Structure 1
Amino acid sequence: MPDLKVLRLRSNNFKGAIPPNLASLTHLQVIDLANNDLVGNIPHGFGNFTAMKFIHNINETTSRIPTFDNNYYKEVVGVVMKGQMLEYQRLLSLVVSIDLSSNRLSGSIPQDLADLVGL
C-alpha cells in the first residue's frame, strides 16, 4: 500500500496510539482518524507526507487514470445541489487533509507538521 492516497478510518472505535508506521505512507493526501478513542502523541513522522508538502495549482491538475485489470478508476465526486447533479473530476490531486479530531490525543503537535504547507 505504499501508493495509498486516502486513509479514512473515522468512527471505528479504534483504541490506543496512532501507529507510527502510518508515516511510511508518504503518498497519503487524506488521513481521517477522527471519532475514535486514540490516545498519546501524534507520531513525529507525520511531517513526511510528501503529497502534503506542496500547494497544488488548480490549472496543473492533469493526472492519468490508472487501470486495474481492465477496470478504470476515476477520481469523480458527485454533488447534488438544489436538485441538480454536478460532477467534478480530478479533484483528489487538490485535496489534502489530516483529521484527528474527537480523540484523546495528548502532547504537543510535532514541529514537522509545519512543513506540510499544502494543508
Structure 2
Amino acid sequence: MENLLEKDVKGYISSQKYLCTISWRNGTFIMDEPEIIEGKDLGPDPYTTLLASLAGCTLSTLRMYIDRKGWDIPEINISLNLYQENDLELTTTITRAISFPKTIEELKKI
C-alpha cells in the first residue's frame, strides 16, 4: 500500500509541558495547550488542529464538487466545535455547520 503523503508528518516534544513541534513536507508548526491547563497557548491545541483538518477537508471537497458541477458558488463557510460526555465511556461529538452566502432561492436558479 502506498502512503498518501510523500513525507511523514513528524512530531517532537521536549521538557516544556505540552509544547509540540510538528513537521510536515514544507515546514513546521507548533501545538500547545491553553494556559488554563498549564500550557502556554503558543499554538493551536490538538482539538483545534483536528477541527481545522476537518474544516479544510470539507471545504476542499465541497469546492471540488461545486467546480465540477459548474455551479456559481463563490464562497463557502464552515464552523466546527466539539463536546465530550464522560459517563461510562468518553463520547466525543463534533458539530459542523456549513453555510453559503447565497440564499437557497438564489442557488435554485443556478
Q: TM tier, shorter chain?
A: under 0.3
Normalised by the length of structure 2, the TM-score is: 0.20
Between the two structures, name the one with larger relative contact order (CA 8 Å, sep ≥ 6).
Answer: 1
Tell me which protein shows more helix as a share of its residues. Answer: 2
Normalised by the length of structure 1, the TM-score is: 0.19
Q: Computing the radius of gyration over CA atoms, which structure comes out larger, 1 or 2?
A: 2
